[in-house]
Structure 1
Amino acid sequence: MNHAGHVAVVDLGYGDAGKGTVVDALCATGPVTAVIRFNGGAQAAHNVVTPEGRHHTFAQFGSGTLQGVPTHLSRFVVVDPLALAAEAAALGNPFHLLTVDGDALLATPWHRAANRARERRRGRGRHGSCGMGVGQTVEYALGHPDAPRVRDVLSSTRLRSRLAAVQAAYGPLDAAPLDDVVDAFLAFGRMVSIVDDSYLGGLLDRGRCVFEGAQGVLLDEWRGWHPYTTWSTTTFDNVAALCPDFFRLGVVRTYTTRHGPGPFVAAAPLDLPEAHNGTGEWQGAFRVGHFDAVAHRYAVEVAGGVDGLAVTHLDAPPREPGLRVCTSYDLDGARWERIVPAPPRDLGRQAALTALLARSRPGDLERPVDWPDRIGELLDAPVVLESYGPRRTDKRIAAPAMAL
């Protein structure tokens, strides 16, 4: 199948499966016109370690930046100019590598403050959040047609009016003064190239692009375990709206992980410490568990299928002899091998599913001899990338399988 070389990278879990290191590795296989971000915003945390040992956690810049690959933030990204400026400074201010769709929403300090205030009010009933205001930005835009967008930074009058409306909507919050935010956002507008929706077509026509997703399918706004989800479409749907043909690459770890609250059937007391993940003030605890074949099969199904898999953390099974693959759940004595998807956009059914998952426990557990082969068999897709460490040199890529 010819995919024009374009590849979309989607996490089939709860995030943190290694999308950044996979994108970095793909960018090293040949010329890449751009890394295109297609969901999420500044809450993303994609870790890349170069062969020389340099580490950066990518949020809004694409994970090919350290190789000089340009980034395009599509209209589906929630852009945070303040967080982006801080990330750019850590990278040496590579604004020449960045283009931004003018229709993308702008996250403000008031969205962020409102997000954190809401999570505090929930107390022990927190849903889990990165505390960056991404969900609050999307929620505000649903009820306000004049929500600030990237193109507004090109007009100081319009920008001030729309930012003042956000500030007024949330009332007194511990956030930055309006004048300071206006000045910072106008400076952002002078530093980046703001484009319209016709720009992306030119990128795709010029050569191979890599679409980099944020978070994971099991956190999807419509398909995840509601309400412990994100305000973002984490499947391939946004990519399909931007590009007519692409290779669907699903990313999984050899062990399942989850930040914060919500069902996690395969959770287990495994000795698998993380260098770049831990308990966060807003996300909550970082949890680990067995490879959850049941949840990952569901993710593949609701994502519309995958053409291939990237399996990361293949160095983990030799380090943790207790690690297993969970191939079924036990729910009140009944064996459960498949999570049946609810109808699209039915949050009531998703909430009911969440309640069932909260009562479920691991059923059948096995220890594979060949982890990539077994994972590919369980998810009914070929493994085209194997990762044995954080650097791109730790990867094995079956390039012909991706029509690169």
Structure 2
Amino acid sequence: MSHTIVVDLGYGDAGKGRVVDLLCAEPGVEAVVRFNGGAQAAHNVVLPDGRHHTFAQFGAGTFRGVPTHLSRFVVVDPLALAAEAAHLVTVGVPDPFALLTVDEDALLATPWHAAANRVRERRRGAARHGSCGLGVGETVAYALAHPGDAPRVGDVFHPARLRQRLAAVRDRLTAAVGPLPAPDVDAVLAVFAAFRDAVRIVGPGFLGDALRRGPCVFEGAQGVLLDEWFGWHPHTTWSTTTFANALELLAGAPARRLGVVRTYTTRHGAGPLVTEDPSLRLPEPHNGTGEWQGAFRRGHFDAPAHRYAVEVCGGVDALAVTHLDVPPEVEICTSYRELDRIPVGRRGDLEAQERLTAALLRTSVGERYRPDDWPAAVESELGVPVVLGTDSPRGAPAFSRDTITA
């Protein structure tokens, strides 16, 4: 059995949690591997009996008893992790930390990163980039600026070194943005010590062993249209949201690349959404306007944008389509008026991506139609077979054409 990588081909919120939960219902899944992002992820799973959890750092297979591995590409937030574990206990997972391993090389997010993130975003005013306010991007930016001094998970075994690094984060970010509302270093050290004692922290060989034991589901965060290099700069994440990180972790092991799309395209907060239609008042029990993310926006299925995502990813093997119980007013946009196609730029060329953002803000919807068969229409528009479809957040999938992990 091969492994499966799950990515969102939109702006996030396409239903990755639901898809990963269904994949983990297959027998023999060894682990869910998180390969990007951090505590800002929000993957919702609702059980048939009504129990609900928004998975952030724990994998969306947790209700199935499938362990989670946080890889070196994840930004780990011990404070948020403790809060998430506490909620999992209330919904029937007796010992969440027993299902968790963490790579020692993963970055540690701190309260100073989160506070600095919020200060910077607030100061942008009407020109906000879009943020979850949890400091994930700030943590990555700090590590890029101070690569030898950024706190990492393995530092929890070296309290003196960790104290020095935490104090440096506090001092540098305070100097950059001003006073930050955050606990003192000793309080953060105490939380990180509790994290060290609660979780299993592993070295670089752990994941390779897990991959050899059985099939793993690689759970991506956010969406390809928010990618740090290929999204609409500056309304992007500090994270690689394509298959790239997962493929690096797999080190040549075979894997199926599964893209997830909704029947309608959505995004949180600022940035282009060409097909946006304020008249689409579709219910969103798990998405709404947030202090940092901004409004939750809805639009018709944006085939040009999703085709771009498939191209940026280097191709997709199969698709999962969610929200098949879409109302009749939702249609498929097949083209834009002022832009023939969305061009794929070079990794790292953020100036070109910023020009692309401006072009997308100027374009509008071209041809649009209402399909009789949503899975067949999405398959045709994106040129990728649809193998899984879901509607209601509870119960069995609406349809499944094969065993995804086989």
1:234 equivalent to 2:241? Answer yes
Alignment partners' CA distance in 2, 1:338 and 1:397: 31
Q: How do 1:355-374 residues align onto structure 2 when only pairs under 5 Å count?
A: 355-374=358-377
Q: Match of 1:18?
A: 15
The structure 2 residue matched to 1:89, chosen from 65, 86, 91, is: 86
Alignment partners' CA distance in 2, 1:6 and 1:326: 33
Moved over 6 A (4+): none
TM-score (norm 2): 0.95
The structure 1 residue matched to 2:319, chosen from 309, 318, 328, is: 309
Alignment partners' CA distance in 2, 1:348 and 1:216: 21
Q: Match of 1:178?
A: 185
Alignment partners' CA distance in 2, 1:30 and 1:397: 16
Alignment partners' CA distance in 1, 2:318 and 2:124: 39
Q: How do 1:62-211 residues align onto structure 2 when only pairs under 5 Å count?
A: 62-92=59-89, 93-144=95-146, 145-171=148-174, 172-211=179-218
- 1:241 aligned partner, one-letter code: E
Shift of 1:330: 1.1
- 2:122 aligned partner, one-letter code: R
Shift of 1:25: 0.5
- 2:195 aligned partner, one-letter code: F
Query: 1:164 and 1:83, CA in 2 relative to 1: closer, same or farther beyond 3 A?
Result: same
1:212 equivalent to 2:219? Answer yes
Shift of 1:235: 0.1
The superposition leaves residues 56-111 of structure 1 with CA deviations (integer Å, 9 ceiling, x where unpaired) of 00000000001110000000000000000000111124111000000000000000
Shift of 1:53: 1.4
Cα RMSD, aligned residues only: 1.0
Shift of 1:392: 4.7
1:380 equivalent to 2:383? Answer yes
- 2:187 aligned partner, one-letter code: D
- 1:393 aligned partner, one-letter code: A
TM-score (norm 1): 0.96
1:258 equivalent to 2:267? Answer yes
* Conservation of the 8 A alpha-carbon contact between 2:157 and 2:196: yes
- 1:152 aligned partner, one-letter code: D
* Conservation of the 8 A alpha-carbon contact between 2:4 and 2:405: no
* Conservation of the 8 A alpha-carbon contact between 1:130 and 1:282: yes
Query: 1:377 and 1:337, CA in 2 relative to 1: closer, same or farther beyond 3 A?
Result: farther
Alignment partners' CA distance in 2, 1:213 and 1:398: 22
**Number of equivalent positions:** 393
- 1:377 aligned partner, one-letter code: S
The superposition leaves residues 237-258 of structure 1 with CA deviations (integer Å, 9 ceiling, x where unpaired) of 0011011221000000000000
* Conservation of the 8 A alpha-carbon contact between 2:26 and 2:405: no
The superposition leaves residues 149-208 of structure 1 with CA deviations (integer Å, 9 ceiling, x where unpaired) of 000011111111111110111122111111100000011001100001110000100001
Shift of 1:355: 0.5
Q: Which runs of 5+ in 1 are unaligned?
A: none
